[in-house]
Amino acid sequence: MYNSRISGLGFYVPENVVTNDDLSQVMDTNDEWIQERTGIQERRHVIKGTDTTTSMGVKAAKVAIERAGIDKDEIDFIVFATLSPDYYFPGPGVLVQRDLGIKTVGALDVRNQCSGFIYGVSVADQYIKSGMYKNILVIGSELHSHGLDMTTRGRGVSVIFGDGAGAAVLTREEDASKGILSSHLHSEGQHAEELSLIAPGMGKRWVTDIIEEQDPEDTSYFPYMNGQFVFKNAVVRFSEVIIEGLKVNGLSAEDIDMLIPHQANLRISQFVQKKFGLSNDQVYNNIMNYGNTTAASIPIALTEAWEAGKVNEGDLVVLAAFGSGFTWGSVIIKW
């Protein structure tokens, strides 16, 4: 059985920077209030009519493929993680295949929100381990800004999220001591509505009902988050799944060279960092610059950390995420 390793990384964020002060012009909030609760200073928002979830993913993917040192036609499979696809269907995986001009390989869409990239990497790793594929493109991309309630009513959620994309190429590795050592996935659907976007749902309300109602006060089209409840669950599940991954591989927190947590909230990351006794040099956070980019947050942060020379050959790298679903997971990597 083979291992898989990350052979190429890339990311893309829109040029349009939206600061906390910018948000204070359209809603009752301020820089101090946002930073105290989330650690976020600014985020990127797509300007209408420019980028899409797919186009951002394509831009990140091109960088990752080039850095992997392969031709696009050597990609055997595509995994695309997002909660904000261009269309209700089809998913963005096939749009990436089309826009990159890749041959008719399979394309899989992953809808696991903040844990999407972790789930995508796990799926890709298993395909490579089995020998089915050699090079798999995994993308996490999100365009949140077009679906946020940018008023005081929605400030508890809208100040948190930003747009962007990250990508990784996973490649077959014959050395069993290198690459992805293990991945660990979990879910707890009983809390699904605590972090959710309900409309346009097709269960209790049909599309014809939604069109007929045309209710401008219907907030079900905007994301909802029970912030304190999500925070309490996140710090527990982050810790559990990191410990699980380390234990399976006979490792401990002292072996971690770099932890890349999903950038949900700087306070969550700091709590986990303290629990594991990690220094600032052992944890990479960039939520202050980009906000929460959901499925894109880990590949963006991992790419930045690698570009900055903070991830090097032989390092033990831990990726971990928690989010809507609830879903959570970790990936343990020997770089």
User: Do 127 and 183 belong to one domain?
Assistant: no
**Mean per-residue pLDDT, 254-282:** 97
How many structural domains compose the chain?
A: 2
pLDDT of residue 219: 76
pLDDT of residue 201: 65
Confidence band, pLDDT 50/70/90 cuts, at residue 202 = low
Confidence band, pLDDT 50/70/90 cuts, at residue 241 = very high
User: Do 183 and 164 belong to one domain?
Assistant: no
For residue 313, the enclosing domain spans 179-195+222-334
Do β-strands 17-19 and 42-44 pair in parallel, antiparallel, or remain unpaired? antiparallel
User: Do 229 and 117 belong to one domain?
Assistant: no
| Listed residues 112, 139, 173: the one ending a domain | 173
With respect to residue 96, please indicate whether it lies within any of the assigned structural domains. Answer: yes
pLDDT of residue 220: 76
User: Do 42 and 125 belong to one domain?
Assistant: yes
Residue 104 contacts residue 312 (beta carbons within 8 Å): no
The pTM for the full model equals 0.95
With respect to residue 330, please indicate whether it lies within any of the assigned structural domains. Answer: yes
Least confident of 75-89, 226-240, 267-281, 285-299: 226-240
pLDDT reading at 224 higher than 90: no
Alpha carbon 26 to chain centroid, angstroms: 27
Residue 62's CB: how many other CB atoms inside 10 A?
16
With respect to residue 29, please indicate whether it lies within any of the assigned structural domains. Answer: yes
With respect to residue 201, please indicate whether it lies within any of the assigned structural domains. Answer: no
Closest residue by Cα to residue 119 from 93, 92, 81:
81
Alpha carbon 185 to chain centroid, angstroms: 14
**Mean per-residue pLDDT, 168-181:** 94
pLDDT reading at 335 higher than 80: yes
Higher pLDDT, 268 or 225: 268
Which CATH number covers residue 59? 3.40.47.10
Residues marked as catalytic: 114, 262, 292
Q: What is the mean pLDDT of the chain?
A: 94
User: Do 230 and 143 belong to one domain?
Assistant: no
Confidence band, pLDDT 50/70/90 cuts, at residue 227 = confident
Q: What are the DSSP calls for 270-311, one per residue?
A: HHHHHHHT--GGGB---HHHH-B-GGGHHHHHHHHHHHTT-S
With respect to residue 136, please indicate whether it lies within any of the assigned structural domains. Answer: yes
pLDDT reading at 313 higher than 70: yes
User: Do 313 and 188 belong to one domain?
Assistant: yes
User: Do 12 and 160 belong to one domain?
Assistant: yes
pLDDT of residue 238: 94
